[in-house]
Structure 1
Amino acid sequence: MPARRVPAIPALAALLAAAALAGCAPQSGGSPSSSAPSAAALSGSPAATPSATPTAVPSSAPPPSPAAAQPKPAAPSASRPTPTAVPAPATRLALSVSAPGGRLSLVRGGAAQEFGITLRNGNTRAYGHLVLAFQMEILLHREGDVPASGDAFVLERRDPATGAWRAAPLRIANDALPATLLQGGTPLARDAVRTERFRLRALKAGATGSTPLMVTLVDTDTDSRVGSLSLPATTTRG
């Protein structure tokens, strides 16, 4: 008599119980449905793992503009202040005289003595009409002097254009020369320099002694003196 086959009920029941326990166990971060064993797990064959496809996440920042990519120019450094030109100091008209030995040594009836008068204008103003005026005080006669019937001295000015000597006014007096008596004159620009040549001669007759030759520069446009000097002079008998 053939043996009876006992159904494998206990083994099947054990497998179902294990599956139930696995389904009831808590899973962290997963859903209940994902905790159930798949058919591949039950059958013992390896499960295929799907590959994750990366998803491009759009950036919220806009792309840099070409202007932003270029470096900013350096800020200009503070330049040094331009120095202010200092104005030239004010200068005024000056008068000077030059003569051999710094004086005139005249002899009655002798040769004339030359001297120069230099006009050096400043930067303050220009002049339209300037006149050089010459004056000597009266000499007292000494013993042996020959009295003069007219002028005892002759003053001459050298013409710069021709080189000729021409008579120039010479006042013999002991008072001051009034500026209002003079007229005309020559111009003198700013910073201009001019030298005029003169010569003085003592005639044969006249008093002897020492008296300065006084030189005054007069602006005839304003009737005012703008410069003065004196040149020592001595006159002796020949």
Structure 2
Amino acid sequence: MPVRSAPFRPLSAAVVAAVLVAGATGCGEEDRTGREAASGAAAPAASASASVSAAATGASPSGAAPSTASAAPATSPPGTDTGIGTGTGTASATAPAVPAPRTTPPPAAPTRLTVAVETRGGRLSLARGGPAQEFTVTLRNGNSAGYRHLLVSFQMEALVGGSGGGAGPGAGLALERRDPATGAWRPAVLRIAGDRKPPSLFTGGSALALGEVRVERYRLRANAAGPVGSTPVIVSFIDTDADREAAGHVNLLNTTR
């Protein structure tokens, strides 16, 4: 059976108006719903941004006090040296002590033997047959050399004038040395001659260590029959091990009347 189409009937003006109103209303609702959804999604993002800023600056965006978690300083694991002077740092917090430089004192200047001959008035004044006059000989060693045998020797030229000169070790004069161990006076050699005896011919002497000081006591007396006059007594100091004079000579003036 053939199908017959329904005849086209134009819509009335009222129907067309109703359709247009419904379409406009639906579009408005969709636009409003989209805007509300967009604004709702943006709000959490803004809050998150504000929270991050507050945690970074230590202040809340609303002006309220920051939370304890955001205000507390960051801590480091135990045993980590942060380099901050908190009093709990390791050895790197304090510099090692530097020892003071050692100073070496300069060596002492070399010193040598010095001698001195002293008596009352600075000279011998003797009278034939009179009392003896004492004098001292002081040996003060330095820091350069010690002596095993250091000899003190005495020599003088023969006196002229008077009578009873004669020959012999003292030629009218008697020299004695006081023994420091016993205190007794013992004869000592006084050479009477006009020439010089070579040091190599002397023997004997006493030890004198480094820095040692030794004082020897002597006395000289004029015999009743001895000569008179003035001539010095030459006191010499000889190192008999080295065959040389240790410190030259000292002259002790002497007058016998």
TM-score interval, smaller chain:
0.7 to 0.9
SS in 1 for 2:26: helix
Alignment partner, residue 9 of structure 1: 19
Q: Deviations over 1:159-187 (max 9, x none)?
A: 00000000011100011122122112110
Contact 2:232/2:251 (<8 A) preserved: yes
Among candidates 146, 150, 162, match of residue 126 of structure 1: 146
CA–CA distance in structure 1, aligned partners of residues 201 and 177 of structure 2: 20
User: Identical aligned pairs, as a percentage?
Assistant: 44
SS in 1 for 2:207: strand
Structure 1 residues 35 and 10: alpha-carbon distance in aligned structure 2, compared to 1, 3 A threshold: closer
Among candidates 164, 168, 180, match of residue 146 of structure 1: 164
Among candidates 21, 28, 36, match of residue 18 of structure 1: 28
Q: Deviations over 1:26-79 (max 9, x none)?
A: xxxxxxxx94887xxxxxxxx899978x8xxxxxxx955524132633334766
TM-score computed with the length of structure 2 as normaliser: 0.69
Gaps of 5+ in 1: 1-5, 24-33, 39-46, 55-61
CA–CA distance in structure 2, aligned partners of residues 210 and 123 of structure 1: 38
Answering whether residue 252 of structure 2 is matched by residue 231 of structure 1, we say yes
Q: Deviations over 1:69-114 (max 9, x none)?
A: 3263333476653333122211110010110001000111111111
SS in 1 for 2:211: coil
Contact 1:148/1:205 (<8 A) preserved: no
CA–CA distance in structure 2, aligned partners of residues 192 and 184 of structure 1: 19
Q: Deviations over 1:128-175 (max 9, x none)?
A: 111110001011224xx3343653111110000000000011100011
SS in 2 for 1:66: coil
Alignment partner, residue 184 of structure 2: 164
Higher relative contact order (CA 8 A, sep 6+): 1
Q: Shift of the alpha carbon at 1:18?
A: 3.5
CA–CA distance in structure 2, aligned partners of residues 122 and 202 of structure 1: 36
What is the number of residues matched between the two proteins?
204
SS in 2 for 1:122: coil
Structure 1 residues 51 and 15: alpha-carbon distance in aligned structure 2, compared to 1, 3 A threshold: same
TM-score computed with the length of structure 1 as normaliser: 0.74
Gaps of 5+ in 2: 1-13, 49-74, 83-88
| Aligned Cα root-mean-square deviation (Å) | 3.2
Structure 1 stretch displaced more, 190-199 or 69-78: 69-78
Structure 1 stretch displaced more, 7-16 or 214-223: 7-16
| Structure 1 or 2: more helix by fraction | 2
Answering whether residue 249 of structure 2 is matched by residue 222 of structure 1, we say no
Among candidates 95, 98, 103, match of residue 75 of structure 1: 95
Correspondence list, 1:1-238, <5 A: 8-18=18-28, 22=31, 35=34, 63-64=76-77, 66-69=79-82, 70=89, 72-76=92-96, 81-142=101-162, 145-148=163-166, 150=168, 151-227=171-247, 228-236=249-257
Q: Shift of the alpha carbon at 1:204?
A: 1.2
